[in-house]
Amino acid sequence: MMDTLLLLALNGLIWGLIIALIALGLSIIFGLLDVINIAHGDFFMVGTVLAWFTLEATGNFWLGFIVAPLIGFVLGALIQRIVIQPIRGVAALSIVATFGLSLILQESVRIAFGPVPRRILPPITGTIPLFGIEYDIYRIFAAVLSVAALVAFFLFLQHTKVGTWMRAVRHDRDTAIAMGIPAQRIYILTFGIGFALAAFGGAVAAPITTVDFRGGVDILPVCFMAVIIGGLGNLPGTAAAAVLLAFFEGIIQSVADPTIARIASLVLMSGVLLLRPQGLFKGHVR
Amino acid sequence: MSGRVAIERLVFVLFAAFMLSVPWSVPALVSPFWVSVITEILIWSLFAASVNLLFGYVGLLSFGQALYFGFGMYGVGIGIDQLHLSFWPAFGLGIAAAVAMALVSGIFAVRLTWHYFAIITVVFSLIFYFLAVRMKPLTGGDDGINFSMPPTFTFGKSVWSFTDATFQYFFILATVALCFYLMHRVIRSPLGKAFVAIRDNDIRASLIGVNVYQTRLVAFVMAGFLAGVAGALFAFFGRYASATYMFYQVSGEGVVWAIVGGAGTLFGPVIGTTLFIVIREVVSTHWEHHSLIVGVMAILVVILAPKGLVGLWRAALSQFERDEPAAPPPQALRAEP
Residue pLDDT, tens place only, A31-57: 888 888 889 999 999 999 999 999 988
Query: Which of A23, A2, A1, A4 is CA-nearest to residue A12?
Result: A4
pTM: 0.86
Q: How many CB atoms lie within 10 A of CB B174?
A: 10
pLDDT mean over B99-106: 95
Distance CA B168, CA B156 (A): 20
Q: Which helix (H) or strand (E) holds A270?
A: helix A258-275
Query: Which of B312, B280, B294 is CA-nearest to residue A96?
Result: B294
Q: Which of B122, B259, B291 sits opposite A221 (nearest CB)?
A: B122
Burial class (CB in 10 A: 0-12, 13-18, 19+), A198: buried
Tell which wins on pLDDT, A132 or B1.
A132
Chain B residue numbers with beta carbons less than 8 Å from the beta carbon of A102 are 295
The pLDDT, as a whole number, for residue B19 is 87
Chain A residue numbers with beta carbons less than 8 Å from the beta carbon of B116 are 228, 273, 277
The pLDDT, as a whole number, for residue A284 is 47
Range B163-171, long-range pairs (CB < 8 A, 24+ positions): B165/B23, B165/B32, B165/B35, B165/B36, B166/B23, B168/B39, B168/B236, B168/B237, B169/B22, B169/B23, B169/B35, B169/B38, B169/B39, B170/B23
Identify whether the C-beta of residue A51 lies closer than 8 Å to the C-beta of residue A206: yes
Is the minimum CB–CB distance between B154 and chain A shorter than 8 Å? no
Q: How many CB atoms lie within 10 A of CB B278?
A: 14
pLDDT mean over A21-30: 91
CB contact under 8 A, B291 and A217: no
pLDDT mean over A167-185: 86
Q: How many CB atoms lie within 10 A of CB B204?
A: 11
Q: Which of B119, B295, B297 sits opposite A273 (nearest CB)?
A: B119
Band the pLDDT of B144: cuts 50, 70, 90. confident
What number of C-beta contacts closer than 8 Å exist between A and B?
116
Out of A190-199, B43-52, B147-156, least confident range = B147-156
- Interface-testing mutation among B51, B115, B122, B249, with chain A (most A C-beta atoms within 10 A): B115
The pLDDT, as a whole number, for residue B323 is 63
Q: Mean pLDDT over all residues of chain A?
A: 86
Is the minimum CB–CB distance between B292 and chain A shorter than 8 Å? yes
Chain B residue numbers with beta carbons less than 8 Å from the beta carbon of A257 are 134
The pLDDT, as a whole number, for residue B55 is 92
The pLDDT, as a whole number, for residue A250 is 82
CB contact under 8 A, A259 and B134: yes
In this model, does residue A13 exceed pLDDT 90?
A: no
Q: Mean pLDDT over all residues of chain B?
A: 87
Is the minimum CB–CB distance between B128 and chain A shorter than 8 Å? no
In this model, does residue A283 exceed pLDDT 70?
A: no
Q: Which of A107, A217, A221 sits opposite B295 (nearest CB)?
A: A107
Q: Which of A99, A225, A273 sits opposite B112 (nearest CB)?
A: A273
Return the DSSP state at B53: I
Identify whether the C-beta of residue A285 lies closer than 8 Å to the C-beta of residue A234: yes
The pLDDT, as a whole number, for residue B184 is 94
CB contact under 8 A, B291 and A266: no
Band the pLDDT of B1: cuts 50, 70, 90. low
Amino acid in position B330: P
The pLDDT, as a whole number, for residue B336 is 40
The pLDDT, as a whole number, for residue B282 is 87
The pLDDT, as a whole number, for residue A285 is 45
Chain A residue numbers with beta carbons less than 8 Å from the beta carbon of B306 are 87, 90, 93
Query: Among all residues of chain B, which has the CA nearest to that of A267?
Result: B127
- Interface-testing mutation among A93, A96, A107, with chain B (most B C-beta atoms within 10 A): A96
Q: What is the DSSP string of B322-337?
A: HHHHHSPPPHHHHT--
Distance separating the N- and C-terminal Cα atoms of chain A: 43
The pLDDT, as a whole number, for residue A22 is 93
In this model, does residue B327 exceed pLDDT 70?
A: no
Query: Which residues does A160 contact at the CB level (< 8 Å), separation at least 6?
Result: none
Domain segments of chain A as ranges = 16-114+122-216
In this model, does residue B113 exceed pLDDT 90?
A: no
In this model, does residue B224 exceed pLDDT 70?
A: yes
Instruction: Report the complex ipTM.
Output: 0.84
Query: Within a 13 Å sphere around the CA of A150, how many CA atoms are in the beta-carbon half?
Result: 25
The pLDDT, as a whole number, for residue B269 is 94
Q: How many CB atoms lie within 10 A of CB B265?
A: 22
In this model, does residue A17 exceed pLDDT 80?
A: yes
Q: What is the pLDDT of residues B28-81, one digit of tens each?
A: 888 888 888 999 999 999 999 999 999 999 999 898 999 999 999 999 999 998
In this model, does residue B100 exceed pLDDT 90?
A: yes
In this model, does residue B6 exceed pLDDT 60?
A: yes
In this model, does residue B322 exceed pLDDT 80?
A: no
Out of B115-119, B127-131, B275-279, B328-332, least confident range = B328-332
CB contact under 8 A, A260 and B108: no
Can you list the positions of beta strands (E) in chain B? 145-146, 153-155, 158-160, 240-241
Alpha helices by DSSP H, B164-263: 165-188, 190-200, 202-207, 212-238, 248-261
